[in-house]
Amino acid sequence: MIAALIFVISLTALLQFFVSYCRSILFAARASELSQPARELTGISAGRVSGEEFRRFMQLVRLCPAHGDDGQAMAAVRVYYSILGIFRSIAGWMSARFSGWLTSERGNCAYFAAVALDRRIALSRELMAQQMLSH
């Protein structure tokens, strides 16, 4: 019984730290502004992004070369987005306020993916420019 209680408490603490980590990643991404090429590619005209766009943005991110240091953050946000989707399907109908928060968080995940795409596009352009200069 004590082992089960310790397990539940540990799992709850792990989930709390994971959510805090993901929210800090999303907050940092929200502070970034997308470049014009990224806005055109993603179709984002204003700061609001639908959470339903996350999968499409992630597919575009996978097409670009890896940025190097964003792999862990991408994986964490992917898992966080999935967890939000599970909560949305289970408990989203219970409260309009909770449903609004879930929608907002999923939109932040999509914006994070758009920022990651923007960074990868910029890196690709920089690498291409360096390669053209070296030849």
- Mean pLDDT score, 63-92: 84
pLDDT at 25: 93
Q: Quote the pLDDT of residue 97.
A: 77
Q: How many domains does the chain have?
A: 1
Residue percentage of the chain with pLDDT more than 70: 95
More confident residue, 51 or 13: 13
- pLDDT confidence of residue 21: 95
pLDDT band at 47; cut points 50, 70, 90:
low
Mean predicted confidence (pLDDT) in 120-133: 81
DSSP the chain: -HHHHHHHHHHHHHHHHHHHHHHHHHHHHHTS---HHHHHHHT--SS---GGGHHHHHHHHHHSPP-SS-HHHHHHHHHHHHHHHHHHHHHTTT-HHHHHHHHHHHHHHHHHHHHHHHHHHHHHHHHHHHHHHH-
Q: What's the average model confidence in pLDDT over 102-126?
A: 88
Q: pLDDT tens across 17-37, in order?
A: 999 999 999 999 988 888 887
User: By C-alpha distance, which of 79, 72, 67 is closest to 126?
Assistant: 67
Of the pLDDT bands very low, low, confident and very high (cuts 50, 70, 90), residue 1 is confident
pTM of this prediction?
A: 0.85
Q: Look up the domain containing 48 and give its range.
A: 2-134
